[in-house]
Structure formats: structure tokens, C-alpha cells
Amino acid sequence: MGLTRPLPGEYAEGYAPYLAKAPEGDALALLEAQLGEVPALYAGFSEARGGYRYAPGKWSLKDLLQHLCDSERIFAYRCLRIGRGDATPLPGFDENAFAAAASADGRSLADLLTDFRAARKASLELFRSLPDAAWAQQGTSNGRTLTTRCIPYIDLGHVAHHITVIRERYLPGVK
């Protein structure tokens, strides 16, 4: 079976937006490519620009990068639990509370990028280690059902979504 794109019956509708944003192709290769894409996007930002917010109350560029790190770890944890056949419903998380508690603006962009790379590499190792049977395991996360196979695609689509947000809402204001 392996890692193939999930079918609509494998996930609750609430996951559809991120799955739709996941590009077509080999998910693991695309996840690996994002290891270069995210740092390349941030390469032109100074430390001062890392604190840029495109509007009051919005996350800074550093907050957004910290969010990618946190989400990466949460997705991997969900994948591990569901992939190992654990049927315990997994909770969601409040990304705004996580962002406030993380104090990302106090970290350097270099540290945040190192963190993102480490989290993504760990996810990839987990995804590559799962046996074929694990991908069909079904579980519940954030009150929604999904199979393990969905998680790498949700991860891929989630990062793709935020890359688009950075390009559309942050880059025009970052000089």
C-alpha cells in the first residue's frame, strides 16, 4: 500500500483544505523539498524583519516559523500514535496559545530555522519507518477521523498554506 494520496473517505471534511493544498507527487520528496523552500523564503529577512507583522494582532514572521515547528511535532506525534494503532482520541491544540507561550520573537531566525529542519527531518524519519499496514490505521484527532496516510499530506499542505500566506501578506511589506 505505502504512502499514497488519501481518498475522501479516509478523513473528515475539516482536513480537506490542507489536503487540497498538498501538491501532487511523492509526498515524502515534497516534504523534503520544503526543507529547502522554507529556509530559502526566510533567507532574505534580517533579525529585525523577523518581527514583522502585516497587521496588528497577526503573528510575526518568527511566530509563523515557530508555528511550523510546533505543528510539525504535533503532526508527527499524531502519525506515530495512529500509525501504531492507538485508537485513543487525540486532542487539538490552540495555535495562538502556543504562539504566545513560545515567545518566538526572542529567538533568532537561525535558531528557528534549525528547529524547523530538525523537526521536519524527524517527521521524515518517522514517515519512512512506518510499515505499509500503518498507513491505513484510522484514528481521531481534534474530534475528526483520519487515517495515518493523511498526516504527511496535511503536514505538506499546512506548510504550503503558510508559504503562500508569507508570500501574499508578509513579503509585500518586508523591504
Q: Give domain status of residue 16, yes or no.
A: yes
Count: domains in the chain? 1
Q: Could you give the angle at the alpha carbon of 173 between the alpha carbons of 31 and 99, nearest 5°?
A: 55
Residue 174: pLDDT band (50, 70, 90) is low
Q: Is residue 34 part of a domain?
A: yes
Is 2 domain-assigned?
Answer: no
Residue 39 lies in a domain: yes
Q: Are 86 and 140 in contact (CB under 8 A)?
A: no
Q: Is 164 within a domain? A: yes
For residue 150, give its domain range: 8-173
**120 in any annotated domain:** yes
Residue 3 resides in a domain: no
Residue 74: other Cβ atoms inside 10 A:
21
Is the pTM higher than 0.85?
yes
pLDDT band, residue 1 (cuts 50/70/90): very low
Asked if residue 47 belongs to a domain, the reply is yes
Average pLDDT of the residues of the chain: 95
Q: Is 52 helix (H, G, I), strand (E, B) or coil?
A: coil
Identify the band that residue 172 occupies on the pLDDT scale cut at 50, 70 and 90: confident
* pLDDT number for residue 2: 61
| Interval 70-86 mean pLDDT | 98
Contact 87, 146 (CB under 8 A): no
What CATH number should be reported for the domain holding residue 63?
1.20.120.450
Convert the pLDDT of each residue in 90-147 to its tens digit. Answer: 999 999 999 999 999 999 999 999 999 999 999 999 999 999 999 999 999 999 999 9
